[in-house]
Structure 1
Amino acid sequence: MNDKCILEPYRHLLPDTAQLLVSLLGLTPALKLCEHFGGTTLIVPKGLLRAGQARQAELAELIGEPAALALSKHYGGDKLYVPRCAAALRHIRDQQICADFDRSSLSANQTIANLALEHRLSDKRIRVILKSTVIASGVRSAQGELF
């Protein structure tokens, strides 16, 4: 499932800046950026001077090198208010978790453990997300009834 498909049901909940970040960086890097800097103004480095290169390296560590370069190319030298978008991003993250769970060829328990580590959530929270999404959509997971 691509980022646009995941984002579409929540597009109306996101400010324009968040939508642009997703289109520039991809869903996962945009989520990481909003989770880390949400509600603050970020001076996006151009990466030309030593201080900017250091800041660029920090961003690359957080969101990945390609996303950090795309961010600098588009916003380099500007101030960027990073929106929080907490509720919408939480819904998008939950949809991504469910999609990743459905695509996994591992056991349900191993998939849940991997998702918990990847999203820095507890395995209990992953189970709650999977269960609530299944109940809300009225559709069972491709891996069958877990709960």
Structure 2
Amino acid sequence: MELEQVKALLPDSVITIAELIGFPATAELLRVLGGTTFPVGKGLRAMGAGRAKLLKETIGEENARLMTAHFGGEVLYLPRCDRALRELRNRAFLGEFENLKNSGLSTPRIMTQLCPKYGFSDRFAWGIISQSKNDSGFNQDSLF
């Protein structure tokens, strides 16, 4: 899932980080550290061995260096970005739903297969499909 696709749902602080280290590294940073306050030292050594190691393991040494150079001495809140991540999940579900439907699988079979995979009920899935039809012209004729 590509975080850049939902850029409009991200807070400015996350956009700044993504512009610095890229969206894939930012997505991994949020996956691992989202929802935490992360003090960024003025250098990787000043940050503390544990936090520096975690940052390097999460986004790589070069990206950790870039973060330290840019945010050194600041305390960053790394939001979870739940809304953006849910939107990405829902888009992935819709794409997979449409692909399976186009391959000839029945709608009940698709729901049985995809709902557990995406972690939601079939009622919720129908809501996503309905909302998508209203928002973006999802091909509703292909659903039945």
TM-score range, shorter chain: 0.5 to 0.7
Relative to structure 1, is the Cα distance of residues 44 and 22 closer, same or farther in structure 2, using a 3 angstrom cutoff?
Answer: same
Structure showing greater radius of gyration is: 2
Letter in 2 for 1:67: I
Q: Which amino acid aligns with 1:115?
A: Y
3-state SS of 2:6 partner: helix
How has the CA–CA distance of structure 1 residues 128 and 32 changed in structure 2, closer, same or farther, with 3 Å as cutoff? Answer: farther
Which residue of 2 is the match for residue 82 of structure 1? 78
One-letter amino acid of the structure 2 residue matched with residue 29 of structure 1: E
Change (3 A) 1:78 1:34: same
Deviation of 1:135 (Å):
0.6
> 1:33–1:50: structure 2 CA closer, same or farther, 3 Å change rule?
closer
Change (3 A) 1:66 1:84: closer
- The one-letter code sitting in structure 2 at the alignment partner of 1:130 is A
Gaps of 5+ in 2: none
- How many residues matched? 125
Do the aligned partners of residues 136 and 31 (structure 1) sit closer, same or farther apart at CA in structure 2, a change above 3 Å counting? Answer: farther
Which position in structure 1 is the counterpart of 2:31? 32
Could you say if the C-alpha distance between residues 89 and 140 of structure 1 is closer, same or farther in structure 2, counting changes exceeding 3 Å?
same
Deviations 1:108-128 (A, max 9, x none): 334433333xxxxxx42xx45
CA spacing shift, 1:90–1:3, aligned 2, 3 Å: closer
Measure the CA separation in 2 of the matches of 1:99 and 1:51.
Answer: 43
The aligned amino acid for 2:127 is S
Match of 1:20 in 2: 16
Corresponding position of 2:131: 136
How many Å separate the matches in 2 of 1:129 and 1:47? Answer: 44
Q: SS of the counterpart of 1:29? A: helix
TM-score (norm 1): 0.52
| Partner Cα distance (2:114, 2:28) in 1 | 21
How does the TM-score come out when normalised to structure 2? 0.53
> Unaligned regions of 5+ residues in structure 1, if any?
117-122
Match for residue 114 of structure 1? 117
Preserved CA contact (<8 Å) 1:25 1:67: no
Contact 1:44/1:71 (<8 A) preserved: no
Q: Does the C-alpha gap of structure 1 residues 66 and 98 become closer, same or farther in structure 2, counting only changes over 3 Å?
A: farther
